[in-house]
Amino acid sequence: MKEQLSKIKSEALAAFGQVSTPAALDELRVKYLGKKGELTAVLKQMGRLSPEERPAMGQLANDVRAALEESIERAAQKLAAAALEARLKAEALDVTIPGKAPKQGHRHPMYIALDEIKDIFVGMGFTVLDGPEIELASYNFDKLNAEEGHPSRDWSDTFYFDRDSRVMLRSQTSPMQVRAMETMPLPIRIIAPGRVYRKDEVDATHSPMFHQVEGMVIDKNVTMADLKGTLNLLAEELFGKGTVTRFRPHHFPFTEPSCEMDVQCHKCGGAGCPTCKGEGWIELLGAGMIHPSVLRMSGIDPEQWSGWAFGMGLERTAMRRFKIADLRLIFENDVRFLEQF
Ligand code: DAH
């Protein structure tokens, strides 16, 4: 029995030392220590020994079992360490591989144009104002000299909130002139960009919602020459040195005299093409000297102060600035379009 035990011990220890997978180790454990294992089989023969032999043999058998268990434990630890090592190797990150850059958003072309406009005017000492899109008709019309009966107040031109036409989506940014005159100390130099709303059908040059930038100067001895000089400078800063403009007489209820400023078409240089509808010019803004009645209604004495104002279409300006042919592109937010700016 003694030989049997030492044979089992040496065989088992050798086998445990060579094992290469946890499953194989488990098989070996069963082979030697399991219920039907080799060591167990030897131990079962203990009963046949004489009482004198039994303690020594029992001790030896226990030592063999302890040695086997210890060896299995060591082998298991070795396998686990090797497995961990292998996993770390397999899952290692290659930190030198270039990362996936997150897609970066960028400014919308119209807001690029707006930021440029703001920079130009802030550089000339103007303040940028923000105002309500839901406006009182008194600010949108009455205080701008467009009283009851003026065609632009028509229900088919304007989005009203109530039956008696007091509250509306502003149809122009001009009410910001009145809000500035009523609240700011003189002299005033402001621009006020924002959304405006009209009952227009969508096409290549129209949308029921679009953007305007209002501008206004009130000071002593302000003349039409200041208006033209400032707006010509705006055109050159926005569209490049040598940009050609022209001022045409026009009518607005809140200015006298009134005019519109056109810029020579960027597509054809004035010869006439589809972009400028054959005219050679693109209308950019309305402007004029602030009507004395408008000044008076806002509590400013037209004998002492004078002013000029303008309102420009922002989509149009961005289209001219970036040579965009169709207004709808500005609102569709197709990434393939937006990514070009
Ligand atoms: N509010 C006018 C429009 O929407 C544009 C305009 C014209 C604004 C003349 C002005 C101005 O401030 O003086 O058509």
In this prediction, residue 54 has a pLDDT band, given cuts at 50, 70 and 90, of: confident
pLDDT of residue 329: 92
In the predicted model, is pLDDT for residue 319 greater than 80? yes
**Hey, which of 310, 312, 317 would you mutate to test ligand 1's pocket, going by the most ligand atoms within 8 Å of its Cβ?**
310
Q: Ligand 1 centre from 331 Cα, in Å?
A: 23
The sign one gets for the Cα dihedral 186, 190, 194, 200 is positive
If phi over 0 gives left and psi between -120 and 50 gives alpha, with beta otherwise, what is residue 297? Answer: alpha
Whether the predicted model's global pTM rises above the 0.85 cut: no
H-type helices in the chain, by residue range? 2-18, 22-33, 38-44, 53-90, 109-123, 137-140, 175-183, 224-239, 292-297, 314-322, 328-332, 335-338
In the predicted model, is pLDDT for residue 145 greater than 90? yes
Phi then psi for residue 219, to 5 deg, are: -160, -175
If phi over 0 gives left and psi between -120 and 50 gives alpha, with beta otherwise, what is residue 308? Answer: beta
In the chain, the largest separation of any two C-alpha atoms, in whole Å, equals: 136
Q: Ligand 1 centre from 119 Cα, in Å?
A: 21
pLDDT 10s digits, 173-228: 999 999 999 999 999 999 999 999 999 998 887 899 999 999 999 999 999 999 99
H-type helices in 19-149, by residue range? 22-33, 38-44, 53-90, 109-123, 137-140
Q: Ligand 1 centre from 107 Cα, in Å?
A: 27
CB atoms within 10 A of CB 149: 7
Q: How far apart (Å, rounded) are the C-alpha atoms in residues 217 and 224?
A: 11
Q: Ligand 1 centre from 252 Cα, in Å?
A: 7
Residues in the ligand 1 pocket, defined by CB under 6 Å: 172, 174, 214, 252, 255, 286-288, 309-311
Q: Give helix 53-90 / helix 22-33 axis angle, nearest 10°.
A: 170
Residue nearest to ligand 1 atom 4, measured at CA = 172
Q: How far apart (Å, rounded) are the C-alpha atoms in residues 97 and 114?
A: 40
Q: Ligand 1 centre from 171 Cα, in Å?
A: 10
Residue nearest to ligand 1 atom 5, measured at CA = 311
Q: How far apart (Å, rounded) are the C-alpha atoms in residues 319 and 262?
A: 14
- Report the DSSP pairing between strands 127-128 and 188-197: parallel
Q: How far apart (Å, rounded) are the C-alpha atoms in residues 168 and 28?
A: 88
Q: How far apart (Å, rounded) are the C-alpha atoms in residues 337 and 288?
A: 36
Q: Among the atoms of ligand 1, which is closest to the Cα of residue 214? A: 12
Q: Among the atoms of ligand 1, which is closest to the Cα of residue 212? A: 4
pLDDT of residue 67: 85
Burial of 184 (0-12, 13-18, 19+ CB in 10 A): middle
In this prediction, residue 288 has a pLDDT band, given cuts at 50, 70 and 90, of: very high
pLDDT of residue 213: 98
Residue nearest to ligand 1 atom 12, measured at CA = 310
If phi over 0 gives left and psi between -120 and 50 gives alpha, with beta otherwise, what is residue 59? Answer: alpha
